[in-house]
Structure 1
Amino acid sequence: MRRRVPAVLAVVIALAAMTTSCTAPGTRQVVLYQSLSPTEIVPIVDGFEEYYERTTGERVRVRSFHQAGGDLRATMGLEARAESVQADIVITDISDVTALETESPGLFAPVDVPALADDAINETVREAGGVGVISGLQPYVISYNTRRVSPEEVPQSWADLLDDRWQFRIGMGDPETTNGAHVPLWFLTQYLGEEIGPPFGWEFYNRLGQLRPRTAGSHDAIQAYVNQGELDLGVLGYGTVVSAADDGNPVAAVFPEEGAAALATATAIPATSDDRDIGEIFVNWMMSPEGQAAMYEGTNYVPIRDDVPTDPPPFPIDLDLDRIAAIDSVWVAEQRVTNIDRFRRELG
């Protein structure tokens, strides 16, 4: 424990420095912990600050503190054990929110979310329940390099990834360092393992391991390999592929015929926050058309509402929201360590 407290204090010092910059008198301040990215969060922060002033007549300053998902979970875990949680609002993977609440019961406060009753919100999101409210969906799809993979070769199913032609040519995130890697892992081993059976289940990863896929500590790195043609295929988030294609890279994506699971980004409010009233406004705004438009602008995530305008994707894809499975965040949180070890064994 002695070595953990300085880590918490380092975050406190960083936040203190962050919040001492010029702020207009009378402006309320809240601290947002988030794992999106420093650029993805900008439309969300700017949009909420404008909305809050427009609807309340008061000003609020949202101070964004960013870490990758696993790091943010570790930071909050240390703060919770030190009884020094600094965040007023948290945006991160729903499985991390679930795990943190399991480790420190009562860490997050229940939030009244009238916006969830809106019929425009995806049914999967409305029924998710648990700690935190899902505010973004990142379906995991098969990304491919259009110069290296001919139209006839493009995989149409997850099972097609097991073809020998893809030996040394597939990339995916490492579940130890990339939260998103647990999404296809759950879908391929648990969901499809039960719904379809072989070749799915853990034997899928065993067979995949024989093809020697490349893993990396971030999905951005895998997408970069696909962009450059160092890899032909990648198991990646839809928004990541869209952004790469928008930047002019020769990439596209397939929504496999078996469907997919999505990284569910959740918004939660720590129980110790003195600004839970602002937090509740923030959560409900995130569920609104305006909030979802800001999330889409920053991340290219699939909106959780069906009334939010989106741009046509830069490549043809049949993105069927009815075939996006609701990930079992409790299973992911409880089995995290076991699954990382099993992943290592199966992939050799």
Structure 2
Amino acid sequence: MRKLLERTAALGLCLLSAVSAQAQTNWSELTDQAREEGSLVVYHSQLGAEHFIDFVKTFEEETGIKVELLDGRASETAERVRSESASGKGKGDLLITSDAVLMGLEAEELLQPHGDLPNLANLREGFVPTDNSIPVFVQSYGILVNTDQVAPEDYPKEWTDLLDPKWKGQIISNDPRAIGVGLASLGPLYETYGSDFLEGLAKQDITFSRNIRLEERRVAQGEFAINLAQVFSFAISEYEGLPVTLVVPGPSVPYTPMSAAVLRDADHVAAAKLFLNAYLSDQAQLLYANVGLIPVVEGVVEQADPEVRDFVGVDLMGWIGPENRGPAVAEMKRVFGE
């Protein structure tokens, strides 16, 4: 990853020449203010991901702004924001998490407008910011296949291929009966293919687990042929040399959109906005694309390493928002049991 960072240019903190003179002046003033603030506190749920740490280090080097990171589960960071706001002792400036979490915090008026960031103009079609949050990357889901057990010609080409009786007893999946990767993957499949698809999967005697990394290891060790709810980035970045491969059934894939927002009680608002703009630079987005996370900025897919380009250029199926979670979980429990 460090070699990738060395190959990239600056994070695009300066304006493009096409931006108006007034906008350049405003952005220059905000940049100066951000550097005067000198620090920034970011809450996130990326669990020590190297590509994120590399981005943060580069941001610090280019701006002189010290970034303090607080890493935790999405539910934990959201609750921290709520409790700090209620106590009047807010520490965080910026939150990076799933759209579902930010939608809840936005409804509770715990976010503030990000304003007109220059790099918002580069967002891909379909990625639309709200007044208080901006899309930053997408986590998508395929399947992990044990290559010692499954020949390439037998890889599932469509999601419905998983209903073939030959896979009975050969599939493990993160549990979709609770909020997590399993629901994020199977929820959109249910909405796309209906209850008949879930009932077909139920006949396959799927083993459910609530440990994502253990599910992957059990496939790598040959205990199962397929992991059904496989995060793209984990398979691409962490299993080189093992008898597994990421397979992306067609015609599209489930996903979880991730966004970022300035917190209502932020002390370092200008620094937070500068960070957000840098997050949408080509170079920052390329760090994400090259580990299998889908970029939200135009032209980055085409710049990604050849071995990941097809994965990050896939068509997206859908995602489970807060309003759909309850019905989806209920259907999973009905089909697969409590």
TM range (shorter): 0.7 to 0.9
Q: For residues 170-213 of structure 1, what are the alpha-carbon distances to aligned partners after superposition, in whole Å with 9 as ceiling and x for unaligned? A: 222235665333432342122x2xxxxxxx11332232223232
Q: For residues 1-20 of structure 1, what are the alpha-carbon distances to aligned partners after superposition, in whole Å with 9 as ceiling and x for unaligned? A: xxxxxxxxxxxxxxxxxxxx
**Structure-2 separation of matches of 1:201 and 1:85:** 44
Q: Is the 8 A contact 2:44 2:96 kept in 1?
A: yes
Tell me the CA shift for residue 287 of structure 1: 0.6
**Structure-2 separation of matches of 1:320 and 1:67:** 25
Give the residue type in structure 1 aligned to 2:161.
D
Relative to structure 1, is the Cα distance of residues 217 and 68 closer, same or farther in structure 2, using a 3 angstrom cutoff? farther
Is 1:292 the equivalent of 2:285?
yes
Q: Which residue of 1 aligns with 2:16?
A: none
Relative to structure 1, is the Cα distance of residues 296 and 171 closer, same or farther in structure 2, using a 3 angstrom cutoff? same
Q: Which residue of 2 aligns with 1:324?
A: 316
Q: Is the 8 A contact 1:48 1:291 kept in 2?
A: no
Q: Which residue of 1 aligns with 2:252?
A: 259
Within-5 A mapping of 1:218-237: 218-234=211-227, 235-237=229-231
**Structure 2 runs not aligned, ≥5 long:** 1-35
Give the residue type in structure 1 aligned to 2:41.
V
Q: Is the 8 A contact 2:40 2:268 kept in 1?
A: yes
1:115 to 119, 123, 132: 119
Q: For residues 44-91 of structure 1, what are the alpha-carbon distances to aligned partners after superposition, in whole Å with 9 as ceiling and x for unaligned? A: 211221232xxxxxx211111111223333433444454544321111
Q: For residues 247-289 of structure 1, what are the alpha-carbon distances to aligned partners after superposition, in whole Å with 9 as ceiling and x for unaligned? A: x111112222221132222111111101111111111111111
Q: Which residue of 1 aligns with 2:60?
A: 49
Q: Which residue of 1 aligns with 2:81?
A: 76
Within-5 A mapping of 1:100-179: 100-102=105-107, 104=108, 106-112=109-115, 113-118=117-122, 121-125=123-127, 127=128, 129=130, 131-175=132-176, 179=180
Q: Is the 8 A contact 1:95 1:332 kept in 2?
A: yes
**Structure-2 separation of matches of 1:153 and 1:61:** 50
Tell me the CA shift for residue 221 of structure 1: 2.5
Deviates more, 1:203-212 or 1:268-277: 203-212
Is 1:268 the equivalent of 2:261?
yes
**Structure-1 separation of matches of 2:277 and 2:232:** 25
Relative to structure 1, is the Cα distance of residues 134 and 176 closer, same or farther in structure 2, using a 3 angstrom cutoff? farther
Q: Is the 8 A contact 2:113 2:132 kept in 1?
A: yes
Relative to structure 1, is the Cα distance of residues 294 and 48 closer, same or farther in structure 2, using a 3 angstrom cutoff? farther
**Structure-2 separation of matches of 1:100 and 1:80:** 11
Q: Is the 8 A contact 2:37 2:268 kept in 1?
A: no
**Structure-2 separation of matches of 1:61 and 1:201:** 49
**Structure 1 runs not aligned, ≥5 long:** 1-25, 53-58, 193-199
SS of structure 1 residue aligned to 2:47 = coil
Q: Tell me the TM-score normalised to structure 1 length.
A: 0.76
**Structure-2 separation of matches of 1:310 and 1:270:** 32
Q: Which residue of 2 aligns with 1:307?
A: 299
Give the residue type in structure 1 aligned to 2:321.
V
Give the residue type in structure 1 aligned to 2:118.
P
**Structure-1 separation of matches of 2:112 and 2:331:** 34
Is 1:340 the equivalent of 2:332?
no
Q: For residues 217-258 of structure 1, what are the alpha-carbon distances to aligned partners after superposition, in whole Å with 9 as ceiling and x for unaligned? A: 343232222222222112212111112333x11111222222
Q: Is the 8 A contact 2:255 2:316 kept in 1?
A: yes
Q: Is the 8 A contact 1:244 1:251 kept in 2?
A: no
Within-5 A mapping of 1:54-69: 59-69=64-74
**Structure-2 separation of matches of 1:202 and 1:73:** 32
**Structure-2 separation of matches of 1:175 and 1:89:** 30
SS of structure 2 residue aligned to 1:212 = coil
Tell me the CA shift for residue 295 of structure 1: 3.4
RMSD of aligned residue pairs (Cα, Å): 2.6
**Structure-2 separation of matches of 1:175 and 1:72:** 22
Give the aligned length. 297
SS of structure 1 residue aligned to 2:59 = helix
